[in-house]
Structure 1
């Protein structure tokens, strides 16, 4: 047998950035817009930001661990003021240069130390990365304590659909703890009096694709026909937020992600 030679991983950079905005590289730690191969994950996160935008009209919002900044910009479409907070220097410089609309600003700081009161805190797809989730949720509760309408929005992937069956964790090296629905609810309920839980699911063409994978052995079919790359080069960039649905009316065990809306 010939010894296999490992190849260098492909470096994906954001495409078509505005003048003066440094493109970010896809590392797996955060999702990015403007990377066609990443579009599934970007839309999966974007749909939650758009859902939250409809619930923070007129409020001051802190978007913790905001990454590239696209979510802060989305929230700025309805909120009175949005502060995007991220400790990564490249992400901070990119966000500050790209998203300059009124009412949205960015601060380079840690989630644990940023100390500015607000009406709402948004913390999406990040709690699975942290060592101290209880301390962080208590901090978010304190930051919103003086608001007449406080809310903390937290999302995380469902280990039951992210990891191999029976595994405690997926292979994502950035994740410290991945949650089952009852674990995530218990974590949030330990710090907030009211916790509303929603699940994110595939819809439209993603639901059809999921059915084909599970019931029609689509993975075998496209490989046998030799059209895997051609199909996914078309399919992945075509995914939109309409190919996901966020609901409280389906069993959370089958959800892709959980979204908790937490109030005192």
Structure 2
């Protein structure tokens, strides 16, 4: 006899690849919270809207947006990620496809969310042109990306092998303007006082302390593991000043309310 009250098993977490952030993994908590703080800061801009998360990854962000949006559609090229989202986050309508050919009709989406994704794309301009095409007049793009100046300092190529091109604030703004999107807000994510203290505690860089252990493939010292596990979104700041010192860039851009496709 079937038990109708039994719940379907929760899917296993997606594996860490370095290409996406996955919740629920202790060693990943710093990076997860650094991404989560942007969702929390901007989620209200999705309220009562039809939202596309372009590059939805593990899907936790799209699921957060589903708390307030009329409809949330996730789009990702990775087949395993798409299957995972369908199984774990039933409130998200999950599609698989390329971000430079968005499977939507012109002027049909209220909000496009693109967090920590554009740096992975080979043709960033083509993606943003597609965003402009599918947004309704007056529609909104919410976008974040690592700040090239602080993420890969002094390098001609990105430090992360999964990144094709990283951007500074001026370069991100130029890309958005070239796509006929009006930038109405540009801010940066940086460490608050607790994380600044952890930077000092761990030899000047809390981030480097984590990366060095990850690359070495060694067990983490108890103190480092405890410090990482304790991080919350309240340990980050989002502000418009000292933008070039920020860790991640966050922009809000809009399609003109009088835009004509073509």
The yes-or-no answer on 1:244 pairing with 2:236 is: yes
| In structure 1, distance between residues paired with 2:143 and 2:96 | 20
Higher mean alpha-carbon deviation, 53-62 vs 190-199, is at 190-199
The yes-or-no answer on 1:53 pairing with 2:43 is: yes
The runs of 4+ residues in structure 1 deviating greater than 6 Å are: none
Asked if structure 2 preserves the Cα contact closer than 8 Å seen for 1:32 and 1:38, the reply is yes
| Structure 2: gaps of 5 or more residues | 1-7, 210-218, 256-262
| In structure 1, distance between residues paired with 2:204 and 2:101 | 45
Secondary structure of the structure 2 residue equivalent to 1:178: coil
Secondary structure of the structure 1 residue equivalent to 2:109: coil
| Structure 1: gaps of 5 or more residues | 1-17, 220-226
Asked if structure 1 preserves the Cα contact closer than 8 Å seen for 2:102 and 2:130, the reply is no
Write out aligned runs for 1:90-239 (5 A): 90-101=80-91, 104-116=92-104, 117-144=108-135, 146-147=136-137, 149-163=138-152, 165-195=153-183, 196-212=185-201, 213-214=203-204, 229-239=221-231
| In structure 2, distance between residues paired with 1:118 and 1:32 | 27
- The alpha-carbon deviation at position 211 of structure 1 amounts to 4.3
Secondary structure of the structure 2 residue equivalent to 1:90: helix
Higher RCO (CA-CA < 8 Å; seq separation 6+): 2
The yes-or-no answer on 1:262 pairing with 2:261 is: no
Name the structure 1 match of 2:64: 74
Number of residues paired by the alignment? 233
Name the structure 1 match of 2:33: 43
Secondary structure of the structure 1 residue equivalent to 2:45: coil
- The alpha-carbon deviation at position 201 of structure 1 amounts to 0.9
- The alpha-carbon deviation at position 162 of structure 1 amounts to 1.0
TM-score, normalization by structure 1: 0.82
